[in-house]
Amino acid sequence: MSTQISDLARRLAERAEMVCRHYLSNGRRSGNYWLVGDINNTPGRSLFVRLTGETSGKGVAGKWTDSATGQHGDLLDVIQLSRGLAFSDALEEARCFLSLPPPAPDPVSVVRRRPAPVGSSEAARRL
């Protein structure tokens, strides 16, 4: 699952300006950064998102910091916090934003139950 999350964060970072224009629409581009007031999309210049940069390590695109509060994170956090979503819902929102299909279920986590014998109390309980 963490590989899927990393891949999603990378794909969002590749489209950092598009993500910012959608989720932080009260901001504006200034050089290589998107400036906005805060994670709640308030107009201002306290929060900045790096729009271009490396794909990993220091200076990576998609990282943000709010200089007034010290909050920081990546674009998945922007989606989660700006929309007030649970993390799993933010992942789904990011997939929809990127027009990606839902992830395939993990075969280990899928529990297969044997069919209950016909006419048994277990069969009735499962109904």
Find where tokens 């050089």 sit.
Answer: 31
CATH code where residue 95 lies:
3.90.580
**Would you say the C-alpha torsion 17, 28, 86, 61 has a positive or negative sign?**
positive
Q: Which residues contact 78 (CB under 8 A, 6 or more apart)?
A: 19, 20, 23, 24, 39, 49, 64
> For every one of its 127 residues, what pLDDT tens digit does the chain have, with 9 covering 90 and above?
578 899 999 999 999 999 999 999 999 999 999 999 999 999 999 999 999 987 777 789 999 999 999 999 999 999 999 999 999 999 999 999 999 988 777 666 556 677 777 878 877 776 7
pLDDT at residue 106 in the model? 64
pLDDT at residue 4 in the model? 86
42: containing domain:
2-126
Distance, in Å, from the CA atom of 23 to the CA atom of 41, rounded to the nearest integer, reads 7
Count structural domains, the chain. 1
Quick count: other Cβ atoms within 10 Å of Cβ 75? 28
Structure-token pair, residue 85:
């979503």
Whether this model's pTM surpasses 0.75: yes
